[in-house]
Amino acid sequence: MTAVLELDGTRPATAVADITGCGVLSAAGPGLAALRGTGWRSPLPRTASDEPDWPPLAVAPVAGFDPAETLGSRGIARLSRSEQLAMAACLAALDATREGPGADRTGIVLGTSMGSARAVLDLLRDTFQQARPYLVNPSGFPSTMMVSAAGRAAIRTGLTGVNATVSGGPVAGLHAVRYAAQALRNGHADRMLAGAVEELSPEAAWAWHHGNALAADTPLAEGCAVFTLDAPGTAAGRRLGRILACETAFTADGPAAVSALLARTVRTALARAGVTAADVTTVVPGARGRRGWAAVEERALRAVFGAGAPPCLEIAGTVGEAHAAGAALQLAAALANPGPDGGLALLTSVGTDGSAGCLVVDLPASPGEVP
Amino acid sequence: MSEPAVRRVAVTGLGAVSGFGTGKDALVAGIKAGRSGIGPIEQFDAAGFDHTLAGEVRGFEPAAHLRRPGRWGRSGWFAATAAREAVSDSGLGPGSLAAARTASSFGTTNGESQVLERLAEQVVGQGTDAVSPELAGRTDAGRIAAAVAAELGLTGETMTFGTACAAANYAIGYAFDLVRTGEADYALCGGADAANRATHAGFHRLGALARDVPRPFDKDRDGIVTAEGGVALLLEPLDDALARGARVYAEVLGYGMTCDARHMTNPDAASIAECIRIAQRQAGIKPEEVDYVCAHGTGTRANEAAEVAAVREVFGARVPPISSVKSVLGHTMGAAAGFGALISCVALDEGFLPPNATLREPDPELGPDLDCVPGVAREARVRVAQNHGFAFGGNNAVTLFGKVAA
């Protein structure tokens, strides 16, 4: 992705997309404003030990989100949590964006892990427990498909452009950004809403609990962040940030190889962005909330930055471990914390399957009122 | 923004795991002869279902094809096995792919659905707290493209599309863009899904399952038959393929996508027509240049009504021969558009029209003069093939393939 641009008149850089709006729903509360600074705001994470079906694990649902109020009460009950979050975030991202391309040239791409675990397991439960295995709830069937969150978001927003769903654990948000950037570059769309979504479920929480997979003081969380992405330099008005590079890669050779691969991926991204490690002003690590993987990511960052690592924006305590929404929430946190002079943020992400990815975003000095 | 420098993209390797067994040759032979890959359900307990047929892969032994099958679910097995065959078919050594920037781009409807089914059994049988973290860790659909990369030792980009029954066309299109623009040197792309209880129950409940076999375009068509499989295409720059003397099945000419944004499950003819137009425009192809349409053709009344209306809107009076390989494979979900792509490439290479094997009498409501290629494959010169994939969520994707002059 090689559009060469003058970056705020200071240094030349390539870019993949401009961020001109966003919709964020996280455990910290709605919008970018809730992600300013670090550390918890109210409400504190709920410990679910006293609720039936949930493990004794700190969990942090999205705060300040009333689905019926945002989406209307009609038909809301049959929507999965993932669908509700995605619809609301896409609406917010569009609302926050100035006029732009028509609905047929505006697309949606959402990252996920496996869609709504709750919807799939509810349907499967019916197949085992109803009088006949096919006596499942028919209106719940579409929600079992990974495609459903993006599909429902399209219906709700009326966007008839490219509509895609991509999967890939914590890296899913970066897959979505890469997909969006390619769609813009290759003329499949003029504007993309790109982001990722994750929902809480007791089954997933038990898996995290049994696997002892969360880092200390990190609640298991859900969330959704969606960004309005335009081809660099094409959109008028406010810009929340400019994505200079987004790279992903894969290795099957275990954690040490993931570290090396992530370091290589970061170097590639910085080179493609036309910047150096010394230009990075903030790192937003993605694996801090996951036991073991934080060290894998840290090794890669040390390999790239040596002793001169820029400060890290720690978000595990703000938005929790939101798995498939992780990278998208990292980007939201970066946009919410540009610093007084702006800067260059690097997001890193690793998945347990051997995926690694990173994103370089240039943050403007004065973002103005953030949504 | 500068226009990206672009390269032409060739399909030089094909691989498949299907109801006809492991291997693309078995698949192509089965389709051409109009044999059925459909039989009794074996992948899950079908007791209590009224419809008990599916297009399953029988007797598949993952250890015979894969290095570390224990790491992946059944969908990952199919994708990786098909990809391994595509690499072997291409004549490229696996080492040259591993040393290059080789992307893995695969589509799926339900991801690792059998893993989810086992999790549901745990939860239903022993309670929510019985969830195994090891199983839960294998539910991520992204592991399908990862399985391909891992089994082939690739370190390039992996991308798994969850765009339901159009997913393989999304995956092929994305891979095409990566190779076309130089983001990747090679790409393995396609789709995979596993037969599973949830999908069968869901379509059963919607009344969308056929009594016996799917009969796309037939006046008595009454639904789909659920199926499974995996399919892979190897894409590389056409110039490189020609330089190394590779067998070029076809050139990827382009693709297009639209979203209905109207209904989660009902297809929309206008949106499909627009998708076809976009694909043809991106490919630089006029409607009259298309020699064959590999239809989405599920066998439901709603699909073919919308699909034929869309095709007529684009092609006018001259509708090319149109057929659906779902007539023999059943609906392989996220792999479906990939099987359509594979057979389109072979049709271009060998010169035939794939049949609608189960067609008895074309549906008069679909209009006159519709050549649905009944029975068995028919010899024909095919220069451009158009491959359809439509999905829940109103996701439409159409890919176009062209014959490369020898």
A220-221 and A58-60 strand pairing:
parallel
pLDDT tens digits along B59-104: 999 999 999 999 999 999 999 999 999 999 999 987 899 999 999 9
Q: Are residues B82 and B31 in the same domain?
A: yes
For chain A, percent of residues with pLDDT exceeding 90 = 82
The answer to whether the Cβ–Cβ distance between A151 and B259 falls below 8 Å is yes
Q: Are residues B200 and B321 in the same domain?
A: no
A161 touches B: beta carbon within 8 Å:
yes
Given a contact cutoff of 8 angstroms between Cβ atoms, the answer to whether A93 and A228 are in contact is yes
Of A20-34, A356-370, B274-288, B321-335, the least confident: A356-370
For A350, the enclosing helix (H) or strand (E) is: strand A343-350
Residue A11 has pLDDT above 50, yes or no: no
Confidence of residue A10 (pLDDT cuts 50, 70, 90): very low
- Closest CB from A124, A132, A351 relative to B116: A124
**CA-based R_g, chain B, Å:** 20
Confidence of residue A370 (pLDDT cuts 50, 70, 90): very low
Q: Are residues B155 and B284 in the same domain?
A: no
Cα three-residue angle B306-B307-B308, rounded to 5 degrees: 95
> For residues B341 and B289, what is the distance between their CA atoms, to the nearest angstrom?
18
pLDDT tens digits along B199-244: 999 999 999 999 999 999 999 999 999 999 999 999 999 999 999 9
**Residue B184 forms part of a structural domain:** yes
Q: How many CB atoms lie within 10 A of CB B48?
A: 14
Given a contact cutoff of 8 angstroms between Cβ atoms, the answer to whether B79 and B232 are in contact is yes
pLDDT tens digits along A334-365: 999 998 899 999 999 999 899 999 999 999 98
- Closest CB from B136, B157, B170 relative to A164: B170
Q: How many CB atoms lie within 10 A of CB B118?
A: 17
Last residue of a domain, one of B218, B243, B268: B243
pLDDT at residue number A97: 84
Residue B246 has pLDDT above 90, yes or no: yes
Confidence of residue A191 (pLDDT cuts 50, 70, 90): very high
Assign residue B391 the CATH number of its domain. 3.40.47.10
Q: Are residues B201 and B262 in the same domain?
A: no
Given a contact cutoff of 8 angstroms between Cβ atoms, the answer to whether B173 and A276 are in contact is no
Task: Name the minimum distance, in Å, from the CA of A132 to any CA of chain B.
Answer: 5
Catalytic residue among B51, B65, B200, B296: B296
pLDDT tens digits along A256-289: 999 999 999 999 999 999 999 999 999 999 999 9
Number of domains in chain B: 2
Catalytic residue among B51, B65, B165, B372: B165
Note the ipTM here.
0.97
Residue B145 has pLDDT above 60, yes or no: yes
Q: Are residues B239 and B348 in the same domain?
A: no
Residues 6+ apart with CB under 8 A from A327: A111, A170, A171, A172, A173, A174, A196, A286, A347, A349, A357, A359
Confidence of residue A2 (pLDDT cuts 50, 70, 90): very low
Q: Are residues B35 and B149 in the same domain?
A: yes
Q: Are residues B166 and B265 in the same domain?
A: no
> For residues B54 and B61, what is the distance between their CA atoms, to the nearest angstrom?
19
**Residue B18 forms part of a structural domain:** yes
Q: Are residues B133 and B109 in the same domain?
A: yes
Q: Is B165 a catalytic residue?
A: yes
- Angle between the N-to-C axes of helices B269-283 and B301-315, in degrees from 0 to 180, rounded to the nearest 10: 50
**Residue B2 forms part of a structural domain:** no
Given a contact cutoff of 8 angstroms between Cβ atoms, the answer to whether B337 and B168 are in contact is yes
Q: Are residues B23 and B172 in the same domain?
A: yes
Residue A367 has pLDDT above 60, yes or no: no
pLDDT at residue number B189: 98
For chain B, percent of residues with pLDDT exceeding 90 = 97
pLDDT at residue number A15: 85
Q: Which residues of B touch A138 (CB under 8 A)?
A: 202, 205-206
DSSP-based three-state secondary structure for A30: strand
For B17, the enclosing helix (H) or strand (E) is: strand B9-18
Last residue of a domain, one of B177, B211, B243: B243
| Residue B176 vs residues A182, A215, A269, B104: alpha-carbon distances, Å | 11, 40, 22, 11
Output the DSSP codes for A320-332: -B-GGGHHHHHHH
pLDDT tens digits along A294-314: 999 999 999 999 988 899 999
**Residue B3 forms part of a structural domain:** no
Q: Among candidates B9, B70, B283, which has minimal Cα distance to A187?
A: B283
Residue B172 has pLDDT above 50, yes or no: yes
pLDDT tens digits along A63-88: 999 999 999 999 999 999 999 999 99
Range of the domain at B390: 254-402
Confidence of residue A366 (pLDDT cuts 50, 70, 90): low
- Closest CB from B68, B131, B163 relative to A210: B131
Confidence of residue A6 (pLDDT cuts 50, 70, 90): very low
Residue A62 is which amino acid? V
Cα three-residue angle B258-B79-B72, rounded to 5 degrees: 120
Output the DSSP codes for B70-92: GGS-HHHHHHHHHHHHHHHHHT-
Give the distance from CA B26 to its chain's centroid.
Answer: 16
- Closest CB from A182, A204, A261 relative to B155: A261
| Residue A22 vs residues A198, A234, A337, B80: alpha-carbon distances, Å | 17, 17, 14, 37
Q: Are residues B301 and B235 in the same domain?
A: no
pLDDT at residue number A368: 52
Q: How many CB atoms lie within 10 A of CB A15?
A: 26
Q: Are residues B286 and B376 in the same domain?
A: yes
Q: Are residues B186 and B233 in the same domain?
A: yes
Tally A–B CB contacts below 8 A: 280
Residue B400 has pLDDT above 90, yes or no: yes
Output the DSSP codes for A77-93: GGS-HHHHHHHHHHHHH
Given a contact cutoff of 8 angstroms between Cβ atoms, the answer to whether A194 and A19 are in contact is no
B384-391 and B292-294 strand pairing:
parallel
The answer to whether the Cβ–Cβ distance between A146 and B140 falls below 8 Å is no
Last residue of a domain, one of B243, B273, B297: B243
For CA atoms B76, B79, B80, B82, give the dihedral sign.
positive
Residue A8 has pLDDT above 70, yes or no: no
**Residue B249 forms part of a structural domain:** no
The answer to whether the Cβ–Cβ distance between A250 and B156 falls below 8 Å is yes
pLDDT at residue number A96: 84
> For residues A85 and B48, what is the distance between their CA atoms, to the nearest angstrom?
36
The answer to whether the Cβ–Cβ distance between A175 and B159 falls below 8 Å is yes
pLDDT at residue number A49: 64
**Residue B22 forms part of a structural domain:** yes
DSSP-based three-state secondary structure for A69: helix
Mean pLDDT of the residues in chain A: 92
pLDDT tens digits along A27-50: 999 999 999 986 656 556 677 666
Residue A51 has pLDDT above 80, yes or no: no
